[in-house]
Amino acid sequence: MKICVVSDSHDRAELLAAAVRAAADAGAKAVIHCGDVIGPNTLRALQRFGLPVHVVHGNNLGDVVAMTRLAAEPGSVISYHGDHAELDLGGRRVFVVHYPHLARGMAATGDWDLVCCGHSHKAEIAWLPSVTGGRTLVVNPGTVAGISAPATYALGVLGTLEFTIERVPP
């Protein structure tokens, strides 16, 4: 299963939609948003792609009540998980949180196959050692909004845990 990971959209709906469109065209079947959406209307542009979208909030909470309402609308593709998400996608255990330090901590437990985060606006893919003697993949897609860094997202295959950082197309 191929997925798209985005973060830090900061109300830039057009860039968020461009990233998800490109990922969907590349075969993505789900989207993970690692927080800092700000206004929930930013996510409305994703409804037309029909992909399930899993969202956590970040330090820029925005309107949590409106986000909850958007997720509850009939036919909505949005699942709002609060401050973190524990997902089973494509046979993988996936943990989603906004902050990189919390992501590193969750990766260290060895309980997850993939941990996704954002916040730093710095795109990074890294295998981190766990206390169980294994490794956990941590993916930070950077900022899809292109704030203080290029506009990027991550595209990956859950079966092989191979991810790449992609530039948001113009």
Which pLDDT tens digit goes with each residue over 58-81? Answer: 999 888 999 999 999 999 999 999
- Which numeric CATH code is attached to 2-167? 3.60.21.10
Tell me the pLDDT tens digit for each residue of 19-52: 999 999 999 999 999 999 999 999 999 999 999 9
Report how far residue 152's alpha carbon sits from residue 15's, in angstroms, rounded to the nearest whole number: 9
Among 80, 75, 78, 134, CA closest to 109: 134
Percentage of the chain lying above the pLDDT 70 cut? 100
Question: What per-residue confidence (pLDDT) applies to 71?
Answer: 96
pLDDT band at 161 (very low <50, low <70, confident <90, very high): very high
- Residue 158's pLDDT band (cuts 50, 70, 90): very high
Average pLDDT, the chain: 97
Q: What are the residues whose beta carbons fall under 8 Å from the beta carbon of 73, sequence distance 6 or more?
A: none
- Top pLDDT among 63 and 162 is at 162
pLDDT value for 154:
99
Look at residue 92 and tell me whether its pLDDT is greater than 90: yes
The alpha-carbon radius of gyration of the chain (Å, integer) is: 14
Written as one letter, the residue type at 38 is I
Asked if residue 54 lies in contact with residue 23, where contact means CB atoms within 8 angstroms, the answer is no
Which pLDDT score, from 0 to 100, does residue 61 have?
81
Q: Cα separation of 156 and 145, whole Å?
A: 20
